[in-house]
């Protein structure tokens, strides 16, 4: 789950990470009231969407008067922003953040994320902040500093100080950076996060280090420990099909292909997508319906799959372990009748009562293409697209 900038900064403030004063607004009048309450003479109006690159899309404006605050808020609220980070979606702006303007002397990049290659958490820092860190890594890799966090002993202050001095900070700034990094690590662990990114982390005219921006993502699998996050989710920022899948506890990710996949088990779903690709096809989605592939869940899964107009065929690959194949077959038939699927469906069943399941599908009278194994299923799904 992704958080809006204003939500991320509220969490930062709870962990005593310095951020500019700001208030969120949902109407132009609220924006003006927020600007007045901040008691400064220049403001930044920032569109709240789950993506970077807002500034280039007109989503970040410096206002020198209250009239400008109102005008920028009016322009942004209701607009849709599409950037290189939105995955092809145009995200609606329903809120703007009004913050006090800062005098920036230096911009720094700082993030904390799960480092899968080294099986630990790692900080990534660079004195080249305010731009895409991927570009810095490509053109000036020597300016990227990585601090790996020991899984047992945690983060040591000396490692933070080392990174700060490596980026040319003075003693005061290094102390502040160390505090920020220690609090970021504490926050990451306590809130079960998957990413904290500050771009930019600035040094202002008073030589203080402040988080000017904030991007946070959390691990959905840990939300049972953080019930408060449910109210912070903004489904208007998500793909509608993915949001619907989340509502029904289905794991769905939309892709660019035309062969839809419905599988029970994440590993099997990945393998199914790989085999489709191997056979010359393109998966339209990742979809794990879970161990209990009931008729109701299968019906919902079909509806989500068919909401994608690019889908030309569907490959159902189910292993009957927790649920028997004959029950799965009945569920598939019921779901097809309920939803009214009009694209070719290839079904591969394996596991408990597999012969009974195949017999039910073959005698259903529906246009279901039965497959003997995954290789056969992928071949038939790819062929069905070209038919």
CB contact at 8 A, 128 and 136:
yes
Cα four-point dihedral sign 361, 367, 370, 375: negative
Q: Which of 5, 95, 128, 197 is catalytic?
A: 197
Nearest of 355, 243, 2, 36 to residue 252 by alpha carbon: 243
CA distance 304 to 296: 13
55 is in an annotated binding site: yes
Instruction: Report strand pairing: 313-320 vs 345-351.
Output: parallel
264 is in an annotated binding site: yes
321 is in an annotated binding site: yes
102 is in an annotated binding site: yes
**What tokens appear for 155 in the block?**
């983060």
175 is in an annotated binding site: no
Q: Taking the CA of residue 204 as centre, how many other CA atoms within 13 Å lie in the half-sphere pointing to its CB?
A: 14
46 is in an annotated binding site: yes
Is there a catalytic annotation at residue 109? Answer: yes
Q: Which of 109, 128, 238, 350 is catalytic?
A: 109
CA distance 173 to 183: 15
* Strands lying side by side in the sheet with 251-254: 251-254, 285-288, 259-263, 313-320, 345-351, 368-371
CA distance 165 to 265: 47
Is there a catalytic annotation at residue 72? Answer: no
CB contact at 8 A, 83 and 56:
yes
213 is in an annotated binding site: yes
Buried b (16+ CB within 10 A) or exposed e, 177-188: bbbbbbbbbebb
**Omega within 30 of 0 (cis) for the link into 200:** yes
Query: Which of the residues are catalytic?
Result: 109, 197
Annotated binding residues: 46, 53-55, 102, 107, 199, 213, 264, 321-323
Annotated binding residues for substrate: 264, 321-323
Annotated binding residues for Mg(2+): 199, 213
Annotated binding residues for ATP: 46, 53-55, 102, 107
């Amino acid at each position: 789950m992704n958080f809006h900038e204003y939500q991320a900064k509220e969490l930062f403030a709870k962990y005593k990470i310095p951020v500019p004063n700001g208030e969120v607004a949902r109407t132009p009048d609220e924006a003006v009231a927020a600007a007045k309450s901040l008691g400064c003479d220049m403001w930044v109006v920032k569109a709240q969407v789950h993506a970077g690159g807002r500034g280039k899309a007109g989503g970040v404006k410096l206002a020198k008067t209250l009239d400008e605050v109102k005008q920028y808020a009016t322009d942004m609220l209701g607009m849709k922003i599409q950037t290189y980070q939105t995955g092809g979606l145009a995200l609606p702006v329903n809120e703007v953040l009004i913050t006090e303007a800062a005098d920036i002397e230096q911009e720094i990049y700082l993030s904390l994320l799960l480092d899968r290659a080294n099986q630990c958490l790692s900080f990534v820092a660079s004195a080249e902040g305010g731009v895409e860190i991927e570009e810095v890594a490509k053109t000036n890799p020597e300016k990227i500093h990585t601090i790996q966090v020991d899984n047992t002993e945690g983060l040591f202050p000396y490692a933070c100080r080392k990174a700060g001095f490596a980026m040319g900070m003075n003693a005061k700034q290094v102390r502040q950076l160390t505090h920020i990094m220690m609090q970021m690590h504490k926050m990451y662990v306590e809130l079960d996060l998957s990413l904290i990114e500050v771009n930019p982390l600035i040094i202002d005219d008073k030589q203080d280090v402040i988080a000017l921006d904030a991007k946070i993502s959390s691990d959905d699998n840990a939300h049972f420990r953080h019930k408060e996050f449910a109210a912070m989710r903004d489904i208007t920022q998500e793909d509608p099909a993915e949001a619907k899948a989340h509502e029904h506890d289905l794991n769905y990710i939309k892709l660019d292909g035309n062969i839809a996949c419905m599988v029970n088990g994440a590993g099997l779903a990945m393998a199914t997508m790989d085999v489709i690709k191997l056979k010359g096809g393109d998966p339209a989605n990742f979809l794990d319906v879970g161990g209990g592939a009931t008729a109701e869940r299968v019906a919902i899964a079909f509806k989500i799959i068919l909401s994608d107009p690019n889908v030309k065929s569907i490959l159902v690959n189910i292993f009957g372990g927790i649920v028997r194949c004959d029950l799965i077959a009945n569920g598939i038939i019921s779901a097809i009748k309920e939803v009214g699927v009009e694209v070719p469906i290839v079904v591969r069943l394996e596991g408990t009562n597999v012969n009974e399941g195949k017999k039910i599908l073959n005698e259903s009278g529906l246009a279901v293409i039965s497959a003997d194994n995954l290789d056969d299923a992928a071949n038939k799904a790819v062929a069905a697209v070209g038919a």
